[in-house]
Amino acid sequence: MSVLLQARDLVRLYRLRRGIFGRAVELRAVDGLSLTLQRGRTLGLVGESGCGKSTTGRLVLGLEAPDAGQVQVDGAPMPPIGGRAWRQQRARMQMVFQDPLGALDRRLSIGAQVEEPLIIHGLPAGPARVAELLMEAGLRPDHAQRYPHELSGGQRQRAVLARALATAPELLVCDEPISALDVSIQAQVMNLLMELQARRGMAMLFISHDLRAVRQVSHRIAVMYLGRIVEEGEPDEVLKTPAHPYARALVSAIPHPGRRGRRILLTGDPPNPADRPSGCAFHPRCAEAVARCRTEAPVLRPRPDGRLVACHLAHAPLLSQVA
């Protein structure tokens, strides 16, 4: 399959001031992140809250400009934000937000909001086209006359999805799209996303902290920690035999009746992105850390099994076996 989107060495800084008269500090929300997304495939991005997943989604869509690095679509750099070329590019890339009620305008009917991107981008609009999009997202045509507060949470998320599909996007970025929904509705929305991908051939970046959901929809999984990807590979490999200590801790927290072994409890809180630890950012919470981990930051690189892992200890045993 051909590559649709490639991000290279993305960095996103937020400059904050501590207190009224405090000094300014830099918070590195995304720190040298690279990823590749093929057409018609799904990359699941997982990690703790605050690790930079949502910021990555906004960078990929061109909603924010990186402080360093580059996003390429079909091999061409993302156009500058706000220009005509950027607006044309945005029609090809859409986002499904975590909170559907917050993503919808409570003053406008669902039909008006689904039709809005069609009008903005000069595409065929009208009640018939709106009805088609609503039905494709699992709603009825009469839902076009309703307002967001008149719909259930699952219906609102379907309305958000119908609006996102209006421009026939090639990439859909789903930022925690099911976390605000009931468990029974979560499965319906995930099945709908997979059906739409199969029918339309869209690529998806599926951002979530729910590993079970990510496993269901993803062709590859990337585990993110403090602004960097620490492990990436096929879902079965990453979730059955995680190589990075942080990935192992995440996987151990998944409830499973047949699982043997104890849950790995991480000590302490994630480090402050404005004050990153030296060496490997995970070493203060890692029970396996050695002296090298405290001084030398590991690089995300391939192992013989094809996975990408950023951990000194994850590479050393395998490299010695290959040698």
**Domains recognised in the chain with CATH numbers:** 3-92+169-225+235-244 (3.40.50.300)
Mean pLDDT to the nearest integer, 305-318: 82
What is the bridge-based pairing of β-strands 220-225 and 42-46? parallel
pLDDT the model gives residue 257 = 60
Query: 89 with 133: CB under 8 angstroms?
Result: no
pLDDT the model gives residue 323 = 29
Mean pLDDT to the nearest integer, 28-33: 93
pLDDT the model gives residue 319 = 38
Mean pLDDT to the nearest integer, 242-250: 92
Partners of 94 in the β-ladder: 172
pTM value is 0.90
pLDDT reading at 195 higher than 70 = yes
Measure the N-to-C terminal CA separation of the chain; round to a whole number of Å: 32
Query: 264 with 252: CB under 8 angstroms?
Result: yes
pLDDT reading at 320 higher than 50 = no
Kindly report the average pLDDT of the chain as a whole number.
89
Mean pLDDT to the nearest integer, 233-241: 92
pLDDT the model gives residue 97 = 87
Tokens at 68, concatenated = 């360093």
pLDDT band at residue 235 under the 50/70/90 scheme: very high
Mean pLDDT to the nearest integer, 264-280: 82
Query: 55 with 13: CB under 8 angstroms?
Result: no
SS3 sequence of 246-267? HHHHHHHCCCCCCCCCCCCCCC
